[in-house]
Amino acid sequence: MINSSEKIIEVKNLVKKFGSFVANDHLTFDVFKGEIFGFLGANGAGKTTAMKILCGLSKPTSGDVKVAGFDVYKQTEEIKKNIGYMSQRFSLYEDLTTVENIRFYAGIYGLTNKEIKERSEMLINKLGLDNVKNTLLKSLPLGWKQKLAFSVALIHNPKIIFLDEPTSGVDPITRRQFWEMIYEAANSGVTVFITTHYMDEAEYCNRVSIMVDGRIEALDKPGLLKKQFEAETMNEVFLKLARNIQEV
């Protein structure tokens, strides 16, 4: 599915400083259209900072960053229209019903009433939520909420979807189902940019980058990274990398 060589995210020498602290130190990488890109790193490695910049929430100190063809310095509006976002907390309103949630998010992305109606019906049918469409979200099981959150994040047909640790605190079966949805989205041409703590999930990605202390220390297909670091699993790769840096 990663047959495309069309770059959808281009990052060149991205630097982000907070005072004298360098959160992102000359990051350079590209993400191709339709690929699942794993963005790994320990807590505090600078993942969130970089992701915020890519989402148009904050501006880089220096460097060139283009997301979906738009410049993060000047065209954040355009970027925001072309990306979807989902965090570990699912971020739906517990005190709204299923349908109300879908309509709300479709609404803030500026879909027309007709589009909202069509897509919410389609979504409810696809997810099999017809019985609970008027139920308050808080009484739905976690797995359903997560599916719904993912679908809602895609409701405006974004080119890229950013997933910030979407599977934290979720049971293995739900995680598996969730990855099926991710694959489905990628197959339909959506680029998936995902951060995760689970190294087994890193293996599901087409390519992964590993950040340590604000720098990208490794970036390749999981299989090649394992070869390069002579490791059995991605977990080992990650530990070796982190250890090497500490020893230096």
Partner 1 sequence: MKRFLGFVKKEFFHIFRDYRTMIVLFGLPVIQVLIFGYAINTDLKDAHVAILDNSKDQMTRQITQKIVSSGYFMLGENLNSTADIEKSFRSGKIKEVIIFKENFARDYLKDGKAKIQLIADASDPNNANLIVNYTLAIINNYQMSLMKEFKIPFQITPEVRMRYNPELKSVFMFVPGIITILLMLVCAMMTSISIAREKEMGTMEILLVSPLKPLQILAGKVIPYVLLSFVNAITIILMGKWVFGMPVTGSYLLLLGVSILFIITALSLGIFISTVANNQMTAMFISLVGLFLPTILLSGFIFPIENMPVPLQILSYIVPAKWFIIVIKSIMLKGLGVTYIWKELCVLFGMAVFFILISMRKFKIRLE
For residues 59-88, which are near partner 1 according to CB under 8 A? 77, 80-81, 83, 85-88
Burial of residue 27, with CB atoms counted within 10 A of its CB: 0-12 exposed, 13-18 middle, 19 or more buried: buried
Long-range contacts of 53-60, Cβ-Cβ distance < 8 Å, separation of 24 or more: 53/14, 53/16, 53/24, 54/9, 54/11, 54/162, 54/193, 55/79, 55/80, 55/83, 55/85, 55/162, 56/80, 56/83, 58/16, 60/14, 60/15, 60/16, 60/24
Q: CB nearer to partner 1: give 80 or 197.
A: 80
* Closest separation in Å from C-beta 162 to partner 1: 8
Q: CB nearer to partner 1: give 55 or 212.
A: 55
Q: Report the number of secondary-structure helices (H) and strands (E) in the chain.
A: 9, 10
Q: Map residues 18-57 to x or -, x wherever contact with partner 1 holds by CB under 8 A.
A: -------------------------------------xxx
* Closest separation in Å from C-beta 77 to partner 1: 6
Q: CB nearer to partner 1: give 58 or 233.
A: 58
Stretch that binds partner 1, among 107-115, 178-186, 194-202, 203-211 (CB under 8 A): 107-115
For 166-197, the DSSP string reads: TTTT--HHHHHHHHHHHHHHHHTT-EEEEE-S
* Closest separation in Å from C-beta 238 to partner 1: 26
Q: Using CB under 8 A, pick the residue from 162, 178, 193, 229 that binds partner 1.
A: 162
How many residues bind to partner 1 according to rule CB under 8 A?
25
Q: Using CB under 8 A, pick the residue from 12, 44, 73, 94 that binds partner 1.
A: 94
For residue 59, what is the DSSP state? -
Residues at the interface with partner 1 (CB under 8 A): 55-58, 77, 80-81, 83, 85-94, 105, 108-110, 153, 162, 164
